[in-house]
Amino acid sequence: MEPSLPLPPIAPPTPAAAFAAATAAPPGSDAAALHDAGFLRLAATAARRPLLVITAAALPVAPTAPVWTAAVDAVTAALTALVRVAPPVSVAGAVTGEAGGEGDGEGEGGVGVLLIASRPDGGRVLPPVRVLASALWSVPPEVRAGIAEVGCLHPGVGLRALLWGVWPWFGGRVWRRMVVADRMDELWTDGLVRPDDLALPPEAFSYERSVADATAAAAGLLVASGAAPPSALPRTTAPPPPPVAAATTATPGMEGG
């Protein structure tokens, strides 16, 4: 009897493959429409973790209950899939913040989540409380423990309050890696992402431009009325970098999405 040849090792699934499988949806469904609109994308954090990017501008202005459910289910499925293929983190450390070290450099496990909340059209960013609460508490502890970094770009008052409210759900370790950015450049100056690794949607640029224009107009009125000195006028600053076409330095196996 001839000896059997050893089977080649099975390569573990990459974050890109896991993300693609988790976001597959039947054509014509609410989930498929969200994915086609760019609701979820895959990028990488500055620490080279998989980064799940959620773009609120991909939602309709007034989402129906089925659309909210599809959106929440899509986020939960993608997050679960990415955590399962990412290097593990200590559940105790992620919940208490007492294990796993203070560093966030190369080789640490877990995934990152970034919510881009820019909605120049005035549409809703947050789902109804009932849908959101059900989704948060349905995520298994090991998946919650795998969330190592969280970022939020252009949050409103309600979203800021929500971040404080779900702090116990995330755990102490994540709270130390929470980046709440009012401007796009804060995402990389605070160390969440690298500029060339994240393609920001056009809505993010439109939102910041509208805020800057409104600030400049208000300052101009105050100066013209004599209520403020000319020095109150905003200084001209360099425009933010344009959106990149794709992540050019993404971690191998993380491209796509």
CATH code for the domain of 28: 3.40.525.10
Q: Is residue 146 part of a domain?
A: yes
Q: What is the pLDDT along the chain (257 residues), one digit of tens a residue?
A: 556 666 655 656 789 999 999 999 899 999 999 999 999 999 999 988 999 999 999 999 889 999 999 999 999 999 999 999 987 654 444 333 333 334 444 446 889 999 999 887 877 888 888 888 888 888 888 888 888 888 999 888 888 888 777 776 766 566 567 888 888 888 888 888 888 888 888 888 887 777 666 566 666 666 667 666 766 556 655 455 454 444 334 444 454 44
Q: Is residue 241 part of a domain?
A: no
Predicted TM-score of the model (pTM): 0.74
Domain count, the chain: 1
Q: Which domain holds residue 121?
A: 15-232
SS (H, E, C) the chain: CCCCCCCCCCCCCCHHHHHHHHCCCCCCCHHHHHHHCCCEEEEECCCCCEEEEEEHHHCCCCCCHHHHHHHHHHHHHHHHHHHHHCCCCCHHHHHHCCCCCCCCCCCCCCEEEEEECCCCCCCCCCCCHHHHHHHHHHCCHHHHHCEEEEEEECCCHHHHHHHHHCHHHHCHHHHCCEEEECCCHHHHHCCCCCHHHCCCCHHHHHHHHHHHHHHHHHHHHHHHCCCCCHHHCCCCCCCCCCCCCCCCCCCCCCCCC
